[in-house]
Amino acid sequence: MSADVTLVRFPRNGNQTEGIMIVNANGWKCYTIELPWINNKRNVSCIPPGRYRVEWTESRRFKKYTYQIMDVPGRSGIRFHVANYARELEGCIGTGMARHDIDKDGAIDVINSKTALNAFELIMNHQPFTLQIIE
């Protein structure tokens, strides 16, 4: 069975992880921002590539429902949420409509994060799905 959503990560630069996420049913896409790979260490690393079940669950931290990536080895609470910069994340995935160095620090950020996340949640209709992360 194929994944419902595919996240293709760009080559690593050591400071953060960038990618593009595609909804396989209709080709809708957005850009992603994550922490760098630091051996899957909690709060400082992106999660490993692989296939994950994603569910619409209530977040105590964000005090609302968000998509949560389930069964990440050695990790919990990994979510999709609004974030323009990798420094706003603790292992989760931020979404954006485009890529741009917002703060002129030399690192590519994502822009219109809230717009991207709202569109993604609407397209996925708050239903569970399978996410494939590839590098």
Domain layout of the chain by residue ranges? 5-134
Q: What is the pLDDT of residues 53-66, one digit of tens each?
A: 999 999 988 889 99
pLDDT for res 2: 65
Q: What is the pLDDT of residues 110-126, one digit of tens each?
A: 999 999 999 999 999 99
Q: What is the pLDDT of residues 2-37, one digit of tens each?
A: 679 999 999 887 899 999 999 999 999 999 999 999
Within the chain, what is the greatest distance between any pair of CA atoms?
Answer: 42
pTM: 0.95
Bridge partners (DSSP) of residue 29 are 22
Helices then strands, counting H and E runs in the chain, come out as: 1, 10
Q: How far apart are CA 64 and CA 58, in angstroms?
A: 6
Q: What are phi and psi of 117, to 5 degrees?
A: -65, -45
Q: How far apart are CA 97 and CA 117, in angstroms?
A: 9
